[in-house]
Structure 1
Amino acid sequence: MTEPFVHIDRVSMRYGGVEGTLALRDASLAVGEGEFVAVVGPSGCGKSTLMRLVTGLWPPTEGTVVVNGREVTGPLSIAGMAFQNPTLLPWRRILPNVMLPLEVVRPHRGQLRAQRAQYERKARDLLKMVGLEGFEDRYPWQLSGGMQQRASLCRALVHDPRLLMLDEPFGALDVFTREDLWDVLQSVWMAKKPTVILVTHDLKEAVYLADRVLIMSARPGRIIAERRVPYPRPRRLDQTYEAEFQAIVHELRDRIAEARKGETADAR
């Protein structure tokens, strides 16, 4: 049996010491290389905490996190990240913003000066792929929110990460822009095949993009169920209105509602 690319094994995470908040308890999951997984669950269930543990930004209180066969003990150079807010540097134009990881991540930072033209070409190709050709010299404030998020996705991909971590990347956008970016992300994944873990509250988004949808319990969070998505790629937006697609979305909603009831019962 092939070892998972990402393996979280009975992880717990508590903030604020012994009496602090227990965000995760005995959480486990496995993600294969090149797989696209979405994580959904009630608000505050620890989805974003999982992201930080996998990327090495925080150490777990208990359990182990293994990526690419090695236990995670610090920030991962093979990971790219994008968040709900684009977090582009306002004083940098779009092309230098996209190239920022190349100044930080090994081995690229040691090669950037000698290979700048090659790296710049890669960044421009990514911007073209997401529909931002011609905007390389603009500042972030000169772009719409959706365009900024496209640039953030390029920045997450420019150093060819084997693992792409997405934390509500489209949550702040209107529905039409969000759906456009679903197709952008689908195209990028099909072209590059990174391992992707997407945290989202949007169940339609999860079903449209992922191979599997993992459902978390209420806090302290753990994976309580998964739903495999049967659709081959490329997927089409009109599929989201079909009865089978809607049935999967409602199934996920029902499972999350059950998890929320559990949270309410625990609070009594």
Structure 2
Amino acid sequence: MTGFVDLRDVQLAYSGHGTETLALDGLTMAVNRGEFAAVVGPSGCGKSTLMKLATGLIRPQAGTVEVAAREVDGPVSIAGMAFQNPSMLPWRTTLQNVMLPLEIVQPHRKRLGRERAAYTQLAEELLSVVGLAGFGAKYPWQLSGGMQQRANLCRALIHDPELLMLDEPFGALDAFTREELWQVMRDLHAEKGFTTILVTHDLREAVFLADRVFVMSARPGRIIVEHEISFPRPRPIDLTYEAGFNDIVHELRGHIAEARAAA
């Protein structure tokens, strides 16, 4: 099946210090338009490498990578990205940090000068959606880690991307803040409808947010299990404490344990 994000028989190796490490081998996966997919697996299995391939930051040695039915041969302009470390520029206000992609990504870069007021309003609206109304003038050092990550999500979405790539965006936060941001992410995805790929070590996070969870093998990584998550949306956070939810979490944990043992 061809997806909005489509990787077929992908192979990628890293070279260094006279050795070559095969990171991915025979990886095939397809994510449909508007779908929320999560990718889990053992440490070092190539989850973040997969993300770099899908956004065009690196290219495979073999196989094909397509986004929106076009082969990826460079950075994908329709993608937004958020990482575990928000990496906000300390000399810029929160609002200025959120608007940074507009200075880089076309056609927004061309329009920014004459449409700055409209873009500023859009950024302020996004900040309000994630609970940061009134914080646009604050600098990153004046925000908590959870607040910085909320702003980071706004920055990833400011240019209205069709594809959102999330690489462990909530991993450094405390449990309560993580759950708050899961719900923020749930609501943003429901409202905007962007295709999302989440790379995470947190199986509860994957099951709560995703339509499908892809499990990767140990290195060299490939997809070994696809698990559809059929809980109806919108999902309340209390779902994460129910038996059926935790049964899926334990099943996924079992697949990962098997993958580690087989390495």
TM-score normalised by the chain length of structure 1? 0.96
Tell me which residue corresponds to 1:201.
201
> Counterpart of 1:52?
52
> Counterpart of 2:178 in structure 1: which amino acid?
R
- 1:102-251 aligned at under 5 Å gives the runs 102-251=102-251
Q: Which secondary structure does the structure 1 equivalent of 2:80 belong to?
A: strand
For structure 2, the residue ranges without an aligned partner over 5 or more in a row are none
Aligned to 1:12: 11
C-alpha displacement at 1:61, in angstroms?
A: 1.3
**In 2, Cα distance between equivalents of 1:89 and 1:223:** 36
Amino acid at match of 1:244: G
Query: What do the CA deviations read for 1:179-213 (whole angstroms, capped 9, x no partner)?
Result: 00000000100000100000000000000000000
TM-aligned CA deviation for residue 160 of structure 1: 0.2
Letter in 2 for 1:166: L
For 2:162 and 2:187, how far apart are their aligned partners in 1? 16
RMSD over aligned CA atoms reads 1.0
SS of corresponding position for 1:235? coil
Partner deviation per Cα, 1:193-238 (whole Å, 9 max, x = no partner): 1000000000000000000000000000000001111111110111
For residue 20 of structure 1, give the secondary structure of its aligned residue in structure 2: strand
Deviates more, 1:14-23 or 1:193-202: 14-23
Aligned equivalents of 2:20, 2:115: Cα separation in 1: 48
1:24 pairs with 2:24: yes
Partner of 2:225, secondary structure, is strand
Stretches of 4+ aligned residues off by more than 6 angstroms = none
Q: Which amino acid aligns with 1:110?
A: K
The AA in structure 1 aligned to 2:193 is K
**CA distance in structure 1 between the aligned counterparts of 2:85 and 2:154, rounded to whole angstroms:** 14
CA distance in 1, matches of 2:231, 2:121: 34
Query: 1:20 deviation in Å?
Result: 1.0
Q: Partners in 1 of 2:127 and 2:245 — Cα distance?
A: 31
1:23 aligned counterpart, secondary structure: strand
Q: TM-score, normalised by structure 2?
A: 0.98
Equivalent-residue separation in structure 2 for 1:67 and 1:30 (angstroms): 10
Q: Which amino acid aligns with 2:198?
A: L
Residue of structure 1 in register with 2:43 after alignment: 43
3-state SS of paired residue (1:182): helix
Distance (whole Å) between structure 2 residues aligned to residue 19 and residue 71 of structure 1: 29
Aligned equivalents of 2:25, 2:259: Cα separation in 1: 15
Question: What is the CA deviation profile of residues 8-65 of structure 1, one whole-angstrom value per residue up to 9, with x for unaligned ones?
Answer: 0100110117941111001010000000000000000000000000000001111110
Alignment length, in residue pairs?
Answer: 262
C-alpha distance in structure 2 between counterparts of 1:91 and 1:61, whole Å: 39
Which secondary structure state, in structure 1, belongs to the residue aligned with residue 13 of structure 2?
Answer: strand
Within 2, Cα distance between the matches of 1:66 and 1:230?
27
Unpaired stretches in structure 1, ≥5 consecutive residues: 264-268
1:266 aligns to what? none
2:239 and 2:70 map into 1 onto residues whose CA distance is 39
Percent of pairs with identical residues? 65
Deviations 1:158-190 (A, max 9, x none): 000000000000000000000000000001000
In the alignment, residue 14 of structure 2 is paired with which amino acid?
A: Y
Partner SS state of residue 16, structure 1: strand
